[in-house]
Structure 1
Amino acid sequence: MTGQSFAMPLWLMRCFRMRLCKTVWLTPVVNSIRLKKTERITRDISNWKQMKSVKSFFDHTPSEGVRLLIQILFMFSKLYEIEKVSRENEDSVQERLERRQRDSLPVFEALKLKVLQAKNGFLPKSPAGMAAQYFLKHETGLRVFLTDRSIPIDNNPAERTVKPFVMARKNFLFSNTSRGARATAICFTIAQTAVLNGLRPEAYLTYVLDQFRKVGLRDEVVRDLLPYSDKLPDELYVNGIKPKQKKS
Structure 2
Amino acid sequence: MSQPFDLSRFPDLPPEVVKAFAAMQSELTVERAARQHEQAVGAEKDVFITELQALIAKLEGQVQDYRRTKFGPKSEKLDPAQLELALEDLEAAIAETQEQITLVEEKIAAANPEQPAPRRPRKARELPDNLPQIERVIEPADITCPCGCGDMVRIGEDRARRLDYIPARYQVIVTVRPKYACPKGRTGVVQAKAPAHLLEASWPTEALLAQIAVAKYSEHMPLHRQAVVMARHGVPIERSTLADWMGRTGALIAPVVDHMAKRLLSDSTRLYVDETTAPVLDPGRGKTKTGYLWAVLRDDRGWKGTAPPGVVFHYRPGRKGEYAAEILAGFNGTIQIDAYGAYTHLATPKREGGDPLRLAFCWAHGRRKLIKAIPKKGSPIVDEALLRIAALYKIEDSIRGSDPEHRRDIRQSLSRPLVDEFFTWLTAQAARVSRKSDLGAAMAYMLRRQEGFRLFLEDGQVDIDSNLVENAIRSPALNRRNALFAGHDEGGANWASYASLIGSCKMNGIDPCAYLTDLFTKLANGHLKKDIDDLMPWAYAQRNTTSE
Residues 205 and 14 (structure 1), Cα distance of their counterparts in 2 relative to 1, 3 Å cut: same
Aligned-pair distance for 1:185? 0.7
Larger helix proportion of the pair: 1
Q: How many residues align?
A: 193
Question: Does the Cα contact within 8 Å between 1:190 and 1:227 map onto a contact in 2?
Answer: yes
Residue 83 of structure 2 is matched in structure 1 by none
What RMSD over aligned residues (CA atoms) do the two structures have, in Å?
2.7
Residue 152 of structure 1 is matched in structure 2 by 463
Residue 536 of structure 2 is matched in structure 1 by 226
Q: Of the two, which has the highest radius of gyration? A: 2
Deviations 1:22-81 (A, max 9, x none): 336xxxxxxxxxxxxxxxxxxxxxxxxxxxxxxxxxxxxxxxx72x43332121001111
Q: Say if 2:81 is the partner of 1:81.
A: no
Residue 198 of structure 1 is matched in structure 2 by 509
Aligned-pair distance for 1:213? 3.2
Residues 80 and 121 (structure 1), Cα distance of their counterparts in 2 relative to 1, 3 Å cut: same
Query: Secondary structure, in 3 states, of the residue corresponding to 1:198?
Result: coil
Letter in 1 for 2:535: L
TM-score (norm 1): 0.67
Moved over 4 A (4+): 18-21
Which stretch of the first structure deviates more once superposed, 186-195 or 166-175? 166-175
Aligned with residue 207 of structure 1, among 500, 518, 529: 518
Aligned with residue 384 of structure 2, among 71, 78, 102: 71
Deviations 1:127-182 (A, max 9, x none): 32111100011111122222233322112111111111112023333333333322
Query: Secondary structure, in 3 states, of the residue corresponding to 1:85?
Result: helix
Query: Secondary structure, in 3 states, of the residue corresponding to 2:538?
Result: coil
Residue 291 of structure 2 is matched in structure 1 by none
Deviations 1:71-100 (A, max 9, x none): 32121001111111012xx30122222222
Residue 16 of structure 1 is matched in structure 2 by 370
Query: Secondary structure, in 3 states, of the residue corresponding to 1:5?
Result: strand
Question: Does the Cα contact within 8 Å between 1:101 and 1:146 map onto a contact in 2?
Answer: yes
Aligned-pair distance for 1:190? 1.7
Relative CO higher for 1 or 2, CA cutoff 8 Å, sep ≥ 6? 1
In structure 1, runs of 5+ residues without a counterpart are 25-64, 241-248
Query: Secondary structure, in 3 states, of the residue corresponding to 2:528?
Result: coil
Question: Does the Cα contact within 8 Å between 1:118 and 1:128 map onto a contact in 2?
Answer: no
Give percent identity, aligned residues only: 23
Residues 102 and 215 (structure 1), Cα distance of their counterparts in 2 relative to 1, 3 Å cut: farther
Question: Does the Cα contact within 8 Å between 1:69 and 1:118 map onto a contact in 2?
Answer: no
Residues 144 and 23 (structure 1), Cα distance of their counterparts in 2 relative to 1, 3 Å cut: same
Query: Secondary structure, in 3 states, of the residue corresponding to 2:441?
Result: helix
Q: Write the distance in 2 (CA, Å) between the matches of 1:20 and 1:170.
A: 28
Aligned with residue 162 of structure 1, among 473, 486, 499: 473
Aligned with residue 453 of structure 2, among 128, 137, 142: 142
Question: Does the Cα contact within 8 Å between 1:6 and 1:138 map onto a contact in 2?
Answer: no
Q: Write the distance in 1 (CA, Å) between the matches of 2:425 and 2:393.
A: 17
Q: Write the distance in 2 (CA, Å) between the matches of 1:218 and 1:93.
A: 38
Residue 116 of structure 1 is matched in structure 2 by 427
Residues 132 and 182 (structure 1), Cα distance of their counterparts in 2 relative to 1, 3 Å cut: same
Question: Does the Cα contact within 8 Å between 1:145 and 1:151 map onto a contact in 2?
Answer: yes
Aligned-pair distance for 1:214? 4.3
